[in-house]
Amino acid sequence: MAVILDGKKLKEKILAQLKQKVEKLCAKPTLAVILAGDNPASKIYVNNKKKTAQNLGINSVVFEYPENVTEKEIIEKIDELNNNKSTTAILVQLPLPRGISAKNVIEKIAPEKDVDGFTPYNFGKLFSGEVPIVYPCTPKGILLLLDEYTIEIEGKHVVIVGRSNIVGRPLSQMMLNRNATVTVCHSRTKNLAEITKTADILVSAAGKNIIEEKMLKSGCVVVDVGIFKDENGKTRGDVDFENVSKIASYISPVPGGVGAMTIASLMLNTVELFEKQ
Ligand code: GUN
């Protein structure tokens, strides 16, 4: 049976250390979150981020907008937050409502307040093999989790399913920086199973339940980034956990795996930005 990659436990360890660090800071970091639209999952995530920040002694303010908000209104808020000295970190929760370009919005965030590491400056640094101000939260959390269990990355074949700007693309670069051999698969990939069979480390960020035991090599490490409710209302990920955990060496659960690590990384990034300003 696979060892469980316990993101919840590692998150708690990281947050306990961070809380002590925040107590010693000369002032409190402030994380501003922009939440636009009615996406129920986004509301839950943002609430979670806010509560976690407050428990650490980090100020958190959420600016909520209705589904019919304009791009201009959001950009005006970003300009205001960029110019506000006491706001040290800015996060625009994705996805944005239909008709609003995430690219147009995100590129307005000042790179030194870009807590997701999504601005062209930070993405450009990452994709040119340089060091961004902070690394995107979910990929950072995945690497922290693998490192906690001393899972070797160098020389390993890492197969990433999903090419989003939030997970797949930045993770591919961070894995390359760690000297992995990286393959990125996506919805147009032919013979997905043939590729996933060769993975030493499989990261699935597809957002649908597609990873079955027969697609994997025995002993591989499986990281599940997916999170959604199945037809019975049960929270689950991309991976058939019950069967895959019989052949994998390590597996991350949903919930309690990568999702927990994303929050821990966001808090780490919030403090890192504060310290760099
Ligand atoms: N939506 C899902 N994951 C994320 C994330 O890491 N950052 C932001 N801003 N939005 C998200």
pLDDT digits (tens), the chain, 277 positions:
999 999 999 999 999 999 999 999 999 999 999 999 999 999 999 999 999 999 999 999 999 999 999 999 999 999 999 999 999 999 999 999 999 999 999 999 999 999 999 999 999 999 999 999 999 999 999 999 999 999 999 999 999 999 999 999 999 999 999 999 999 999 999 999 999 999 999 999 998 889 999 999 999 999 999 998 888 989 999 999 999 999 999 999 999 999 999 999 999 999 999 999 9
Distance in angstroms (rounded) separating the CA atoms of residues 228 and 40 = 11
pLDDT for res 229: 87
Q: Is 61 in the pocket of ligand 1 (CB under 6 A)?
A: no
Q: Which of 6, 11, 49, 240 is catalytic?
A: 49
Q: Is 137 in the pocket of ligand 1 (CB under 6 A)?
A: yes
**Token duo for residue 178:** 């760690």
Of 33, 34, 45, the residue with max ligand 1 atoms within 8 A of its CB, to mutate for a pocket test, comes to: 45
Q: How far is the CA of 1 from the centre of ligand 1 (A)?
A: 32
Residue closest by Cα to atom 8 of ligand 1: 93
Q: Is 166 in the pocket of ligand 1 (CB under 6 A)?
A: yes
pLDDT for res 14: 98
Q: Which of 50, 108, 114, 116 is catalytic?
A: 116
The answer to whether the beta carbons of residues 240 and 271 sit under 8 Å apart is no
The answer to whether the beta carbons of residues 266 and 134 sit under 8 Å apart is no
pLDDT for res 142: 99
Q: Is 116 in the pocket of ligand 1 (CB under 6 A)?
A: yes
Q: Is residue 217 annotated as part of the catalytic site, yes or no?
A: no
Distance in angstroms (rounded) separating the CA atoms of residues 120 and 76 = 19
Q: How far is the CA of 166 from the centre of ligand 1 (A)?
A: 6
pTM above 0.85, yes or no: yes
The answer to whether the beta carbons of residues 67 and 35 sit under 8 Å apart is no
Q: Is residue 6 annotated as part of the catalytic site, yes or no?
A: no
Interior angle at CA 173, CA 167 and CA 176, nearest 5: 130
**Atom number in ligand 1 closest to CA 138:** 6
Domains of the chain: 26-110 (3.40.50.10860), 137-259 (3.40.50.720)
Q: How far is the CA of 266 from the centre of ligand 1 (A)?
A: 10
Indicate if the alpha-carbon torsion angle 158, 250, 53, 100 is positive or negative: positive
Q: Could you tell me where the beta strands, DSSP code E, fall in the chain?
A: 3-4, 30-36, 59-65, 89-92, 157-161, 181-185, 201-204, 221-224, 228-229, 235-236, 250-251
Q: Is residue 147 annotated as part of the catalytic site, yes or no?
A: no
